[in-house]
Structure 1
Amino acid sequence: MADWNLGVGTLIETNLNGLAVLLDNAKCGWKQLAKAAMDQPRFRCSESELTNCSLQVLNCSGSSGRFLLDMLKERGCTLAFLLQCLRKMEHHEAIEYLTTAVEQIQITVQPQPQHALEGSRVVLSCKGSGPPTLGYQWFKGKEEIPGGSGPNLVVPFLTAVEQGHYICRVNHGERFIFSNWAHVRVIRSGNSSSEASSTFFPTTSGLRIIYQPRQQTLSEGEDLLLRCSAEANPPPQYQWYHNKKPLETAVNSKLKIPGVTTADRGSYYCRVFNLYHEIRSEEVHINIGPSSMTEVWKSDDEDLSTGSTRPPSSFYDLSMGSTRPPSSFYATDKVALLMGNMNYLHHRQLRAPMADVHELTNLLRQLDFKVVSLLDLNWQEMHSAVTEFLLLLHRGVYGLLYFAGHGYENYGNSFMVPIDAPASYTSEHCLWVQGVLHRMQERETGLNVFLLDMCRKRNLNDVTIPRPDARKVTANIVFGYATCVDAEAYEVNKDDLSNGIFISYLKKRLMEDEKVTVMLDRVAEDMGRCRITRGRQALELRSNLSERRALTDKIQSTDCSVTSARNLQWAIAHVLPESRTLEFDCGVKVQLGYAAEFSNIMIIYTRILQQPKDIDHCSAQLSNFSEDLEIDLKHTNQESLEEAGSILFTIDFLPQPEVPKLYTRLKALQRLKKELTFTVCLHYQYSNLEEEVQERQTVSIGKPLVSKLNLHEPTCSSSSSFDFNSSSLPESAMYTQGLGEPSETSTASTSAATSWSYYSTPGETPEVPPSNKVNLPEENLDTDECQPYSATKSLPYAPVDDITFRFSNMQNFHSL
Structure 2
Amino acid sequence: MSESNESSLNINFLKESVLKRLCESLDKANNKGWRKLGEIVKNDKRFKVSLEDMDMCSLKALEADGSPSRTLLKLIGDQGCIQGELMEFLQIMGHTEALQCLKPPGIQILVQPQSVSVIAGHNLRLSCYAVGASPVQFQWFKKTEEVKNVLPEHQGRYRCEICCNNERTWSSEVEVVVIANPCLSQMKEARIFPQISGAMECSEDDFLSINKDYSFEKPYATDKVALLIGNLTYRNHPQLKAPMVDVYDLTNLLRQLNFKVVSLLDLTESEMRNAVEEFLSLLHKGVYGLLYYAGHGYENFGNSFMVPVDAPNPYRSGNCLCVQSILKLMQEKETGLNVFLLDMCRKRNVHDDAMPNVMLKVTANIVFGYATCQDAEAFELSSSGFTNGVFIKFLKERLLEDEKITVLLDRVAEDMGQFDPTKGKQALEIRSSLSERRSLTDPICLGGYSDATEAHNPLWSKAHELPESKILDFECGVRIKMDFAAEFSNVLVIYTSIVKKPEEMQSCQAHITDLPLDLDVDPKLMNKETLEETGSFLLSGSLPQHCLYTRLSSLQKLKEELAFTVCLQVQFGSLDDLVQWNMHVNIGKPLTAKLDLNRPTRKNSCQVTCHMPHSPSTSPSHSPGSDRRFHNQDPCCPQPYANPYLNVCEHLHGAQAGYRDFQLNTDHAYQYMPLSPLMNPPSIPIETTDDIDDMQNEFINSLHLYKHP
Code of the aligned partner of 1:680: V
Q: Counterparts in 2 of 1:184-223, with a 5 A limit?
A: 211=121
| Residue matched to 2:517 | 627
Establish whether residue 491 from structure 1 lines up as the match of residue 377 from structure 2: no
Q: In the alignment, which of 519, 530, 533 is matched to residue 408 of structure 2?
A: 519
Query: Cα distance 1:277–1:672, how it changes in 2: closer, same or farther (>3 A)?
Result: closer
Query: Cα distance 1:593–1:551, how it changes in 2: closer, same or farther (>3 A)?
Result: same
| Residue matched to 2:441 | 552
Establish whether residue 661 from structure 1 lines up as the match of residue 661 from structure 2: no
Q: In the alignment, which of 424, 427, 434 is matched to residue 538 of structure 1?
A: 427
Code of the aligned partner of 1:257: Y
| Residue matched to 2:585 | 699
Rounded Cα–Cα distance in structure 2 between residues aligned with 1:666 and 1:641: 12
Rounded Cα–Cα distance in structure 1 between residues aligned with 2:143 and 2:533: 33
* 8 A contact 1:638–1:644 mirrored in 2: yes
Rounded Cα–Cα distance in structure 1 between residues aligned with 2:139 and 2:385: 30
Rounded Cα–Cα distance in structure 2 between residues aligned with 1:675 and 1:425: 34
Rounded Cα–Cα distance in structure 2 between residues aligned with 1:271 and 1:571: 22
Query: Cα distance 1:517–1:255, how it changes in 2: closer, same or farther (>3 A)?
Result: farther
Code of the aligned partner of 2:586: S
Query: Cα distance 1:624–1:381, how it changes in 2: closer, same or farther (>3 A)?
Result: same
Rounded Cα–Cα distance in structure 1 between residues aligned with 2:155 and 2:365: 32
CA positional deviation for 1:521: 1.1
* 8 A contact 2:228–2:263 mirrored in 1: yes
| Residue matched to 1:149 | none
Establish whether residue 686 from structure 1 lines up as the match of residue 572 from structure 2: yes
CA positional deviation for 1:492: 0.6
| Residue matched to 1:130 | none
Establish whether residue 508 from structure 1 lines up as the match of residue 397 from structure 2: yes
Identity, % of aligned positions: 51
* 8 A contact 1:240–1:271 mirrored in 2: no
| Residue matched to 1:677 | 563
* 8 A contact 1:449–1:479 mirrored in 2: yes
- Secondary structure of 2:593 counterpart: helix
| Residue matched to 1:195 | none
CA positional deviation for 1:632: 1.6
* 8 A contact 1:213–1:282 mirrored in 2: yes
| Residue matched to 2:279 | 389
| Residue matched to 2:23 | none
Per-residue deviation, residues 284-324 of structure 1 (Å, max 9, x unmatched): 99786889x9xxxxxxxxxxxxxxxxxxxxxxxxxxxxxxx
- Secondary structure of 1:450 counterpart: strand
* 8 A contact 2:289–2:339 mirrored in 1: yes
Per-residue deviation, residues 480-520 of structure 1 (Å, max 9, x unmatched): 10000000000111122210000011111111111111111
* 8 A contact 2:120–2:192 mirrored in 1: no
CA positional deviation for 1:592: 1.6
- Secondary structure of 1:384 counterpart: helix
Rounded Cα–Cα distance in structure 1 between residues aligned with 2:178 and 2:288: 37
CA positional deviation for 1:411: 0.7
- Secondary structure of 1:359 counterpart: helix
CA positional deviation for 1:381: 0.6
Q: In the alignment, which of 452, 459, 473 is matched to residue 569 of structure 1?
A: 459
Q: In the alignment, which of 365, 390, 398 is matched to residue 476 of structure 1?
A: 365
CA positional deviation for 1:259: 3.5
Query: Cα distance 1:252–1:628, how it changes in 2: closer, same or farther (>3 A)?
Result: farther
Per-residue deviation, residues 712-740 of structure 1 (Å, max 9, x unmatched): 112449999x9xxxxxxxxxxxxxxxxxx
| Residue matched to 2:318 | 428
* 8 A contact 2:347–2:377 mirrored in 1: yes
Q: In the alignment, which of 590, 603, 607 is matched to residue 493 of structure 2?
A: 603
CA positional deviation for 1:659: 3.7
Rounded Cα–Cα distance in structure 2 between residues aligned with 1:223 and 1:510: 28
CA positional deviation for 1:362: 0.4
Q: In the alignment, which of 344, 351, 355 is matched to residue 465 of structure 1?
A: 355
- Secondary structure of 1:473 counterpart: coil
Per-residue deviation, residues 634-691 of structure 1 (Å, max 9, x unmatched): 3200001111211000353x4xxx6452000000111111111111100111122222
Query: Which range moves more in the overlay, 703-712 or 480-489?
Result: 703-712
Rounded Cα–Cα distance in structure 2 between residues aligned with 1:360 and 1:349: 21
Rounded Cα–Cα distance in structure 2 between residues aligned with 1:284 and 1:629: 40
Per-residue deviation, residues 212-251 of structure 1 (Å, max 9, x unmatched): 869999977999999xxxxxxxxxxxx999679999xx86
* 8 A contact 2:155–2:178 mirrored in 1: no
Rounded Cα–Cα distance in structure 1 between residues aligned with 2:248 and 2:534: 17
Rounded Cα–Cα distance in structure 2 between residues aligned with 1:223 and 1:660: 48
Code of the aligned partner of 2:445: Q
Rounded Cα–Cα distance in structure 2 between residues aligned with 1:276 and 1:349: 30
TM-score, scaled relative to structure 2: 0.58
Rounded Cα–Cα distance in structure 2 between residues aligned with 1:664 and 1:242: 41
CA positional deviation for 1:583: 1.6
RCO higher in 1 or 2 (8 Å CA, sep ≥ 6)? Answer: 2
Q: In the alignment, which of 306, 329, 352 is matched to residue 439 of structure 1?
A: 329
Rounded Cα–Cα distance in structure 2 between residues aligned with 1:350 and 1:276: 27
Rounded Cα–Cα distance in structure 2 between residues aligned with 1:372 and 1:252: 29
- Secondary structure of 1:620 counterpart: strand
Code of the aligned partner of 1:602: L
Rounded Cα–Cα distance in structure 2 between residues aligned with 1:405 and 1:260: 45
CA positional deviation for 1:348: 1.2
Rounded Cα–Cα distance in structure 1 between residues aligned with 2:401 and 2:269: 34
Q: In the alignment, which of 252, 271, 292 is matched to residue 362 of structure 1?
A: 252
Query: Cα distance 1:277–1:675, how it changes in 2: closer, same or farther (>3 A)?
Result: closer
Query: Cα distance 1:494–1:672, how it changes in 2: closer, same or farther (>3 A)?
Result: same
Rounded Cα–Cα distance in structure 2 between residues aligned with 1:368 and 1:419: 30
Rounded Cα–Cα distance in structure 2 between residues aligned with 1:683 and 1:619: 5
Per-residue deviation, residues 589-644 of structure 1 (Å, max 9, x unmatched): 11221111101100111111211111111010011111222102232000011112
CA positional deviation for 1:545: 1.1
- Secondary structure of 1:642 counterpart: helix
| Residue matched to 1:449 | 339
Rounded Cα–Cα distance in structure 2 between residues aligned with 1:711 and 1:499: 27
Unaligned runs of 5+ in 1: 1-208, 227-238, 265-269, 294-325, 723-816
Per-residue deviation, residues 757-779 of structure 1 (Å, max 9, x unmatched): xxxxxxxxxxxxxxxxxxxxxxx
- Secondary structure of 2:406 counterpart: helix
Code of the aligned partner of 1:342: L
CA positional deviation for 1:364: 0.3
* 8 A contact 2:149–2:193 mirrored in 1: no
| Residue matched to 1:202 | none
Q: In the alignment, which of 221, 233, 242 is matched to residue 352 of structure 1?
A: 242
* 8 A contact 2:137–2:162 mirrored in 1: no
Query: Cα distance 1:631–1:218, how it changes in 2: closer, same or farther (>3 A)?
Result: closer
- Secondary structure of 1:211 counterpart: coil
